[in-house]
Structure 1
Amino acid sequence: MTTGSTISRQDVLARLRARVAAGRPIVGAGAGTGLSAKCAEAGGVDLLIIWSTPPESSASSGPRRSNACPRSGP
């Protein structure tokens, strides 16, 4: 799927139902930033849950994370 594209609800449900019918798992991921969402999409997740946090929460002194997205596939 291309970033920024729009898919109808019916198309989403049809894709998920086809995966279930084929015996394939549905993989979901959560993201709070655009970078996380891009990495999850690149990794091939089926469902992407987005949440929004206030900037001061994002700027807390929690653990630092790498900005590199691991590539999937060859």
Structure 2
Amino acid sequence: MSDKSMGPGTYLTDAEAKELHKGFVVSMAFFVFVAVIAHFLVWSWRPWLGAPKGFAAIESVQQADATRAVPGRG
């Protein structure tokens, strides 16, 4: 085994370990960026904190749909 490997049992040289770490950091940053954008879009659509009656309009629409009379047949 080479003296340039990182730690016991990794079989990576210092350059390979740095390259792997760089790829991990870049992919993690991309994932976090996409997650932040997705959370912002969902927050814009339906805020889950802050507004005291944020879902009140949705609940009233659901209640109106549930109490709407079904037209009879015939």
Smaller-chain TM-score bracket: under 0.3
TM-score, length-scaled by structure 1: 0.25
**Which structure dedicates a bigger proportion of its chain to strand?**
1
Greater relative contact order (Cα < 8 A, sep 6+): 1
**Which structure dedicates a bigger proportion of its chain to helix?**
2
| Max Rg structure | 2
